[in-house]
Structure 1
Amino acid sequence: MTADSDRSSSDAPAVLESLTSSRLSWPTVLLAVLVLVTLGALVVGGSTSTTAFGPYNPSWDGASNFQSALDDDPEVEASLIQDTSRYDDLEAADTVAFVIAPEETYDDESAATVARFVEAGGTLVVLENFEPQGNALLEDVGASARVDGQLIRDDEYYFRGPTMPIATGVENHTLTADVEQLTLNYASAVEPGTATTLVTTSDFAYRVDEPDEELDDDKELERLPVATIESVENGRVVVIGDPSITTNAMRDEPDNAAFLTALAREGNTTVVDVSHSDGIPPLTAATLVLRSSLLLQALLGFGGIGLIALLSSGRLTREQLPVGRRRRSVQAAEESTPTLSDAERAELLRERHPDWDDERIERMITVFNQRDSKGEKHERD
């Protein structure tokens, strides 16, 4: 046989594989893309949330940036609380807990757990503007401050409109050392009770019931408190009349991030209480449960080891098959491969290798036929 024939013979398996795979390549690629897109959508949908103020909501009204900043802060250890029973496991005197616009009212048992946390020396930060759940929790823990539930407008000092007032009255306190103002969005005033005021609006703020209401003779311009702090038993309670300062749209406006950071660093541990909100997506919730359970981690680890061992066992079993059995397996696979006619092979070779001349194509077909005839001879033997 000539050198060209030898080269053709050595090329034959690769060419045959190329011809077979080329017929399936596009459907396979499209299927793979579809699977990847579907899996990607499931992962994104299962790991993100659309709940306002949610720690895993990446939209403008979510608090994912706030949560990420806590997670990345080297001075605090951050986590989420999905069940108020976890408060009992915290070292209260060294912990700050954020409750951001809860969607449900804390029942007696849950509220009592939070109250014990404050009594033991914990710092509770409640951010609320209009809903009653925040005030109910403040009453349950023994705080005197309340959110009044009316919208603040300021026609002189505002960000993008009068309903986004800039709170310029910053009192001297360790929590406001790096704060010159807070930029608010649909905020409500805080009635301080016996609490100390940390931040107020300008002197030109006034209360309204509807966003489009304007100043008239029935309304009074006044400096309104928007953040307070007070001692309760051995702990402290901070009340902020605007949960939106934690959102992705507002956190980076002056000086919201600085204020939130100062609050978080009041302890070495910071928790965000989402027990009465719907802001935890399924995959994230499962991950948090796994992290909190050593038993589940152990079961998952042993399960993974068992699966690897099972797969390895199957591989070893195949590798240890007698030569005759392996040969029959290969033969069975070859028998299942459809045989092409000379004309079909020639057509495929011309499509795949348009630069080949007729003589080379005929040589390749001869090589294929020789391989087929050898296979038939082995079968007869």
Structure 2
Amino acid sequence: MRLWSWLRTPDGIDWPRALLVALSVTLVLALGVVASTSAASFGLYNPAWDGTSEFRAHVAADDTVEHDLVRNTQAYTEGEANETVAFVIAPDEPYTDDDAARVQTFVENGGTLVVFENFGEPGNALLADVGAEARVDGRLLRDERYHYRGPPMPIATEVANHTATQGVDQLTLNYATAVGPGNATVLVTTSEYTYLGDEETDLEEVEDLQAYPVVTTENVSNGSVVVVGDPSLTINTMFDQPDNAAFLTNLYAGHDRVLFDISHASDLPPLTAAMVAVRGSPLAQLGVGLVGIGLVAVLVRSDRSTLKRVLTRYRGQRTTATAKALERSPDALSEEEWAERLRHRHPEWDDDRIQRVATAVSRATHDQPDES
């Protein structure tokens, strides 16, 4: 039964049924959106203001690099480390010893690790595990003079000359913290009117204002570690603010592969998680392939059954038409009906001969004088 026929009645459209169809379609679309998006802060598939879907899409659209989602740190041991950059954005949980060891080996083999962290301890713990000296402070940076929409969103105006800062004149921060560099090289600092505090801090109680580092880079073994004291640089609402997108692009420029490390972050949406799981498991890929082959086989069998029914119906109709033609008076037969009769009586004749005879007989029959 066709959908349109099901929706129609003798009096017009069956509106209750139409409403049911509309609600069903809406429900399916809504479930699809829910299954393919995330609401987690810093989520790579979160399209809201606090997600990082724009950053992920920006990397995915770059034909010069490949990108992978890392749900298991085993991915750090695959591929060429010295051609890979890994982004760790505000991890929710600390890395276990085994996980940290894999990341450390990745850096030792020449990989680039970029850690975005402000107030969480997992980021600092990971930096210590891989042998980096830089650490995030954890207190809120505020700038009463140079800011975007308020003191908690300072504009970092001091930018060093480095490959990671090419084309970058400033970074627009959002609830950032300072980075204690140790022996690391400072790439970006705030203005000299910045202080560390919180929403309750009284500016008059601040002893001094100064510039604070917010981005550092350092060599660790054969690799490098970049520390950014503001994971919000990557979120959708801040990605296009000056000059955040350019800076983030520079961080992976020159590499062949980008890893988005979500192994210690919020879960992926169900459909994406399933896709990543299949890509990472040869056994799962085999299972999906077998299911696909089974579906194709079912569809092919279904198509053959449908074709058989159509041919049977067509042949039945043709046989009926031929029988009717045979029952009619020769004088009343048309040229096509004469052809059907000849095919029935002389199956050994070819189509050209049947057509010639049918034309001749039809003309002879219809050209006879009326004897009445």
Aligned partners of 2:195 and 2:206 also within 8 Å? no
Instruction: Select which of 113, 130, 141 maps to 1:152.
Output: 141
Going from structure 1 to structure 2, the CA distance change for 1:214 and 1:18 (only over 3 Å counts) comes to: closer
Alpha-carbon distance in 2 for matches of 1:48, 1:19: 37
Tell me the matched-pair count. Answer: 310
Distance in 2, Cα, partners of 1:188 & 1:318? 67
* Pair 1:137-2:100 in alignment: no
After TM superposition, give the deviation of residue 21 of structure 1 in Å. Answer: 6.9
The Cα of 1:52 is off from its aligned counterpart by 0.6
| Structure 1 residue ranges, 4+ long, deviating more than 4 angstroms after superposition | 16-24, 317-324
Matches within 5 A, 1:42-61: 42-61=31-50
Which residue, 240, 261, 265 being the options, matches 1:252? Answer: 240
| Alpha carbons 1:244, 1:250 under 8 Å: kept | yes
Residue by residue over 1:14-73, the C-alpha shift from the partner in whole angstroms, topping out at 9 and shown as x without a partner, is xx9997576774333222212111111111111111111110011111100000001011
2:152 alignment counterpart: 163
CA distance 1:86–1:64, change in 2 (3 Å): same
Matched residue, 2:106: 117
CA distance in structure 2 between the partners assigned to 1:249 and 1:98 by the alignment: 19
Percent identical across equivalent pairs? 50
- Identify the structure with bigger relative contact order (alpha carbons < 8 Å, sequence gap 6+): 1
2:58 to 69, 72, 84: 69
Give the match's secondary structure for 2:207. Answer: coil
The answer for the alignment partner of 2:23 in structure 1 is: 34
Change in Cα spacing, 1:21 to 1:34, as seen in structure 2 (3 Å) is farther
* Rounded Cα–Cα distance in structure 2 between residues aligned with 1:20 and 1:239: 67
Q: Contact 2:112 / 2:225 at 8 angstroms: preserved in 1?
A: yes
Evaluate the alpha carbon distance shift between residue 17 and residue 223 of structure 1 in structure 2; reply closer, same or farther with a 3 A threshold: closer
Q: 1:240 aligns with which of 228, 234, 245?
A: 228
- 1:76 partner letter: V
Query: Which of residues 209, 213, 227 in structure 2 aligns to 1:221?
Result: 209
Whether the 8 Å CA contact 1:96–1:266 is kept in 2: the answer is: no
Deviates more, 1:115-124 or 1:214-223: 214-223
State the Cα distance separating 1:78 from its structure 2 match.
Answer: 1.4
Cα displacement (A) at 1:120: 0.5
Cα distance, 1:293 vs structure 2: 3.6
Counterpart mapping for 1:1-381 below 5 A: 25-208=14-197, 210-317=198-305, 320=308
- Residues 56 and 279, structure 1, Cα contact 8 Å, conserved in 2: no
Cα distance in 1 between the residues matched to 2:235 and 2:39: 12
Letter paired with 1:78: H
Unaligned runs of 5+ in 2: 317-372
Which deviates the most, 70-79 or 285-294? 285-294
Contact 1:170 1:200 in 2 (8 A): yes
Contact kept in structure 1, 2:108 and 2:220, CA below 8 Å: yes
The two structures have a TM-score, normalised by structure 1, of 0.76
How many Å separate the matches in 1 of 2:122 and 2:305? 63
- The higher radius of gyration belongs to 2
Could you list the runs of 5+ residues in structure 1 that have no partner in the other structure? 1-15, 328-381
Match of 2:266, SS? coil
CA RMSD of aligned residues (A): 2.4
